[in-house]
């Protein structure tokens, strides 16, 4: 069971994440967070010494939730590899393009390079997400369902094939809403292309008929 202190910390992180998403990091103050919580600023500082520290906690929370949502969507034991990888791709895109992850990426990208926040974000948030996908591909290679290749290269190419231009459009505000049909289409076509490159015999999708 969570202690009152742990529950309070999670509450603070949740409130801060929402404010960062609504207003951006720069326009959000510790006073605003305290007001939204309905408590004192001193209570807030008892948990987090600065807004930067609070931001790091928000990013870490997003990491934990994001990884589990994506990995749990992958149906281990599914005989149809295309179907399994498409489920994984849809979960990846749905999480990657969701409002909070997009807001967090904008915040980090807007920080000065000397802050090291971008490097930290990559190492503690983005890289672990991709490494979990690498582990799935390693298992599939061991099972003989994918050809042998470097797992990281494979994961990055899989990510590029399914994301297409969707991430850029979300970041730039050119796609303000997430369209499930667009995500499913991108995931399906991306996985088909991925399996044509890395699928072992019997796991490569058949070419679609050009007939109406």
The whole-number pLDDT of residue 52 equals: 87
pTM comes to 0.81
pLDDT bin (cut points 50, 70, 90) of residue 212 is very low
| SS3 annotation, 1-34 | CCCHHHHHHHHHHHHHHHHHHHHCCCCCCHHHHH
Q: pLDDT, tens digit, for every residue of 70-123?
A: 888 899 888 999 999 999 999 999 988 998 888 888 888 888 878 888 888 888
| Nearest Cα to Cα of residue 122 among 135, 108, 112 | 108
* Terminal CA-CA length for the chain: 58
Contact 25, 107 (CB under 8 A): yes
pLDDT of residue 114: 82
- Residue-wise pLDDT for 2-48, tens only, equals 577 888 888 999 899 899 888 888 889 999 999 999 878 888 999 99
Could you tell me the domains of the chain?
A: 1-49 (1.10.10.60), 59-198 (1.10.357.10)
Kindly report the number of other CB atoms within 10 A of residue 126's CB atom: 17
């Amino acid at each position: 069971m969570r202690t009152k202190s742990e529950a309070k910390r999670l509450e603070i992180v949740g409130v801060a994440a929402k404010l960062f998403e609504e207003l951006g990091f720069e326009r959000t103050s510790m006073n605003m967070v305290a007001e939204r919580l309905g408590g004192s600023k001193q209570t807030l500082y008892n948990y987090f010494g600065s807004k930067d520290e609070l931001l790091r906690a928000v990013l870490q929370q997003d990491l934990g939730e994001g990884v589990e949502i994506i990995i749990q969507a992958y149906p281990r034991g599914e005989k149809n590899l295309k179907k399994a990888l498409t489920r994984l791709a849809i979960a990846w895109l749905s999480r990657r393009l969701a409002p909070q992850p997009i807001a967090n990426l904008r915040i980090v990208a807007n920080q000065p390079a000397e802050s090291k926040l971008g490097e930290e974000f990559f190492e503690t948030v983005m890289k672990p997400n991709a490494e979990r996908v690498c582990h799935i591909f390693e298992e599939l290679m061991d099972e003989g369902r994918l050809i042998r290749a470097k797992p990281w290269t494979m994961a990055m190419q899989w990510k590029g094939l399914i994301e297409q231009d969707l991430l850029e459009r979300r970041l730039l505000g050119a796609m303000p809403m997430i369209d499930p049909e667009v995500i499913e289409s991108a995931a399906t076509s991306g996985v088909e292309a991925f399996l044509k490159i890395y699928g072992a015999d019997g796991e490569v999708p058949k070419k679609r008929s050009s007939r109406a």
